[in-house]
Chain A
């Protein structure tokens, strides 16, 4: 029962006691109490790589044979390898910042692969795996982090909205988009469209996320709220965001919430397909809490050793999303060593390509500063652009002499 994770404070404990800063021991104790995700955690593949039957969700992954599972494994390995390469490139000064996804590959690939071409995904800023699943060239993502661009892909072609840095904003934007799908009559049968929006456990404290829940609910929007609870919002643990498991919040808004093992790609795929299916048929919205863990820092500017203990990290390493698929494939004969070697070689080549591209990424021309501020132009800005370019030209002319 979910209530096992959650004890209501006795009157004597009161809000003041709850609000007091927890000691590191209390934080760790709290995490250990919830690190299994609770009795209601949907899981199809254990950390040991054993298949767990699920009467409710097996049908959503009927088509995932060994070949398809190898595909999901490959996705996760490539995405992780790209993530590690980008992290290294930041350390080498080639990227201004990086937002690691290490540990969240299953949540992102599982949900991302559940989407169809006509669906729309609204990411936060850590959704590199979802971007990959949506067919976005990861080179186009890196411009953001090398600070040459804010968003380099065609959002319509990929069904993948620009990254959103301000916490929670995209949840309302996604609710609006999904309302549009509903208004256009694009829901109601198997061919219906749906929208998915990604946010973290920290974002659930934002007003925009609450408002997004309200809007999606009252307009019956075909929207899947995909919360990746990676346990930490920079240094703030989940218990600084909520007194109860996050997926249970959905009930207060009048739609279903479900907690899935976010390190289980099969379960993430199944649950996302189910939730999207509900939306396609007009039964949305749905909240999914993918119970996972951020294995690396929040960003490359962060130092998680200041706020969390290494045994917590060690515990989560045992639940690695890639290793369990590998174990399952290897044990059941779904893949041999040659396959794993091939994927690793492909991942290394993928990373090398990203590295080459990053090192040679062209810098935008100065007048890009002024481009596309407005769709219909702005004479004041045009004058500013002219003046600035003429100022720059002055240097060029001076250099010729």
Chain B
């Protein structure tokens, strides 16, 4: 029986978490304010009421504590899903993530499994004070032993969170916070259907003039740019990375071989980032197909600015189109 529901990213995550908890009593949700409040973004709304305080843990306020105890719970056989309130607060937990969570499986030659998901609302555009708008995903993609994914739409939110929870590997799950409750991104989801493959990149709009690769909140920017470019007679192909580590660049290579041009789009600072990695690997794999150097449209190599300046900091569709023009002018 098909159960079609029209859901925002936020609701899709909530429903995905609920399904995962129903299916496996070992799934726990833990974090600051995730219980009664339902999380600062209300993603875990109603879960504590239905699953109890022992399955949805309102924890003390310490990120290392949340992640460090999740590691121990995983050793015990639980599948913790941690919520970090904002990406800028994850750093007290960085030690536990990089030293324990990412390495225990390797260190024990596979004897210890680490089925832990860390949900991280990330990215800017919400007019917040500092530490609430950053894009630190490249730092985690650089750590061996972790998987890093980022969703851009409600379908992937619903299925992706369930698949991340089922995975025996530790997963950093980056969620585009400014799109949580976007009505425009509401999608019809067959919530009883079969899970599509989630942790692979995907062409989300076909085109021939140039390729734009993006992830998380930038996918919407790329799609908006592609719609605008159409008016200028350019046909942009858009690839949603979805998985940031391991990078699934096969569809990107294929697209670049078709269009000959690549714009790598991200809100994160550009130096030593995922867009750096994409540029390096695309030139290695697609050197003879490229008509222009890979161009990057990113945040600047500065701390995230005061929010009154974020419209300049965040890549918007005009900057993407400018990059397309530069690529085509080569």
- Residues of A that sit less than 8 Å from B by CB: 122, 149-151, 154-156, 161-162, 164, 166, 169, 171-181, 183-184, 207-208, 211-212, 214-215, 218, 371-376, 378-381
Say how far A399's CB is from chain B's closest CB, in angstroms.
30
Residues 103 to 140 of chain B near chain A (Cβ within 8 Å) = 104-114
Residues 46 to 92 of chain B near chain A (Cβ within 8 Å) = 54, 59-60, 62, 64-65, 67-78, 80, 92
Say how far B94's CB is from chain A's closest CB, in angstroms.
12
On whether A211 and B62 interact (CB within 8 A), knowing A173-B75, A175-B69, A378-B246, the answer reads yes
Task: Check A180 against B77 for contact (C-beta < 8 Å).
Answer: yes
CA distance A150 to B109 in the complex (A): 8
Task: Check B108 against A172 for contact (C-beta < 8 Å).
Answer: no
Kindly name the residue among B59, B76, B96 whose own CB sees the greatest number of chain A CB atoms within 10 A.
Answer: B76
Which residues of B are found within 8 Å of A214, using beta-carbon distances? 60, 62, 65
Partner of B110, one of A164, A184, A207, A375: A375
Which residues of A are found within 8 Å of B105, using beta-carbon distances? 372-375
Partner of A212, one of B68, B104, B167: B68
5 further A-B contacts with Cβ under 8 Å, apart from A169-B95, A176-B72, A183-B28, are: A173-B100, A208-B68, A211-B64, A211-B68, A376-B167
Q: Is B99 an interface residue (CB 8 A)?
A: yes
- Residues of B that sit less than 8 Å from A by CB: 28, 54, 59-60, 62, 64-65, 67-78, 80, 92, 95-96, 99-100, 104-114, 144-145, 147, 167-169, 246-248
Contact sample, A vs B, 14 pairs, CB 8 Å cutoff: A149-B109, A172-B72, A173-B69, A175-B69, A176-B68, A176-B73, A211-B68, A214-B65, A215-B59, A374-B169, A376-B169, A378-B147, A378-B246, A381-B246
CA distance A377 to B53 in the complex (A): 34
Say how far B250's CB is from chain A's closest CB, in angstroms.
9
Task: Check B111 against A176 for contact (C-beta < 8 Å).
Answer: no
Task: Check A380 against B246 for contact (C-beta < 8 Å).
Answer: yes
Task: Check A169 against B68 for contact (C-beta < 8 Å).
Answer: yes
Task: Check B71 against A173 for contact (C-beta < 8 Å).
Answer: yes
On whether A176 and B69 interact (CB within 8 A), knowing A150-B106, A373-B145, A375-B168, the answer reads yes
Which residues of A are found within 8 Å of B70, using beta-carbon distances? 176
Say how far A154's CB is from chain B's closest CB, in angstroms.
6
Partner of B60, one of A174, A181, A184, A211: A211
CA distance A207 to B64 in the complex (A): 8
Task: Check B73 against A156 for contact (C-beta < 8 Å).
Answer: no
Partner of A178, one of B62, B72, B168: B72
On whether A175 and B68 interact (CB within 8 A), knowing A154-B111, A155-B108, A373-B144, the answer reads yes
Kindly name the residue among B68, B77, B104 whose own CB sees the greatest number of chain A CB atoms within 10 A.
Answer: B68
Task: Check A374 against B108 for contact (C-beta < 8 Å).
Answer: no
Which residues of A are found within 8 Å of B107, using beta-carbon distances? 150-151, 162
Which residues of A are found within 8 Å of B108, using beta-carbon distances? 150-151, 155, 162, 372
CA distance A155 to B71 in the complex (A): 14
Which residues of A are found within 8 Å of B145, using beta-carbon distances? 373-374
CA distance A173 to B60 in the complex (A): 15
Which residues of B are found within 8 Å of A156, using beta-carbon distances? 111
Partner of A379, one of B60, B64, B246: B246
Task: Check B95 against A208 for contact (C-beta < 8 Å).
Answer: yes
Task: Check B68 against A375 for contact (C-beta < 8 Å).
Answer: no
Task: Check A164 against B71 for contact (C-beta < 8 Å).
Answer: no
Task: Check B65 against A155 for contact (C-beta < 8 Å).
Answer: no
Which residues of A are found within 8 Å of B111, using beta-carbon distances? 154-156
On whether A211 and B169 interact (CB within 8 A), knowing A176-B76, A179-B72, A373-B105, the answer reads no
On whether A172 and B113 interact (CB within 8 A), knowing A162-B107, A162-B108, A179-B72, the answer reads no
CA distance A212 to B60 in the complex (A): 11
Which residues of A are found within 8 Å of B75, using beta-carbon distances? 155, 161, 173, 176-177, 180
Task: Check A374 against B147 for contact (C-beta < 8 Å).
Answer: yes
Task: Check A215 against B60 for contact (C-beta < 8 Å).
Answer: yes
Say how far A218's CB is from chain B's closest CB, in angstroms.
6
Say how far B105's CB is from chain A's closest CB, in angstroms.
6
Which residues of B are found within 8 Å of A212, using beta-carbon distances? 65, 68
Say how far B58's CB is from chain A's closest CB, in angstroms.
10
- With CB as the reference atom, state the residue of chain B lying closest to A172: B68
CA distance A171 to B80 in the complex (A): 18
Task: Check B54 against A183 for contact (C-beta < 8 Å).
Answer: yes
- With CB as the reference atom, state the residue of chain A lying closest to B116: A176
On whether A169 and B99 interact (CB within 8 A), knowing A376-B168, A380-B246, the answer reads yes
Instruction: Report, nearest first, the 7 A-B pairs whose CB atoms are least far apart.
Output: A176-B72, A172-B68, A180-B76, A176-B69, A211-B65, A375-B168, A177-B72
Say how far B328's CB is from chain A's closest CB, in angstroms.
31
Which residues of B are found within 8 Å of A374, using beta-carbon distances? 105, 145, 147, 169
CA distance A234 to B148 in the complex (A): 37
On whether A215 and B65 interact (CB within 8 A), knowing A173-B75, A174-B72, A178-B72, the answer reads yes
Task: Check B69 against A215 for contact (C-beta < 8 Å).
Answer: yes
- With CB as the reference atom, state the residue of chain A lying closest to B145: A373
Which residues of A are found within 8 Å of B100, using beta-carbon distances? 164, 166, 169, 173
CA distance A180 to B95 in the complex (A): 22
Task: Check B109 against A177 for contact (C-beta < 8 Å).
Answer: no
CA distance A166 to B111 in the complex (A): 20
Say how far A320's CB is from chain B's closest CB, in angstroms.
34
- With CB as the reference atom, state the residue of chain B lying closest to A364: B109
Task: Check B110 against A218 for contact (C-beta < 8 Å).
Answer: no
Task: Check B54 against A162 for contact (C-beta < 8 Å).
Answer: no
Say how far B254's CB is from chain A's closest CB, in angstroms.
15
Say how far B71's CB is from chain A's closest CB, in angstroms.
5
CA distance A97 to B315 in the complex (A): 50
CA distance A378 to B108 in the complex (A): 18
Which residues of B are found within 8 Å of A177, using beta-carbon distances? 72-73, 75-76
- With CB as the reference atom, state the residue of chain A lying closest to B112: A155
CA distance A180 to B248 in the complex (A): 35
On whether A175 and B72 interact (CB within 8 A), knowing A150-B107, A166-B95, A375-B113, the answer reads yes
CA distance A202 to B29 in the complex (A): 32
